[in-house]
Amino acid sequence: MKGRRQRKQLNQSKNNDLLEKLAELEHKQWAHWTRYMLDNLTEKNIRRWRKQIEIPYSKLSEKEKESDREWARKVIEELENGYI
């Protein structure tokens, strides 16, 4: 029982560490986007972004998908850094 409990505590600790790493990454992504948006806030961009919000990922252009993949790769990198 003691070994099982220790493994569970270790897994919880590892999950908490991963949660914090991914939350930090999400904050970086949000800050990156917000900075870009504020620096490029025009009526034209607002209309374009409102349209993009409604488009499912599968219907995005390859350029738009690649932008999302860039952040997905960062998640994979964090997972590979000791969480898999």
Q: Are 18 and 82 in contact (CB under 8 A)?
A: no
For residues 51-79, give the mean pLDDT: 93
pLDDT of residue 8: 67
pLDDT of residue 41: 96
Question: Model pTM?
Answer: 0.71
pLDDT at 60 over 80: yes
Mean confidence (pLDDT) of the chain: 89
Decide: helix, strand or coil at residue 31.
Answer: helix
pLDDT of residue 1: 62
Q: From start to end of the chain, where are the E strands? A: none
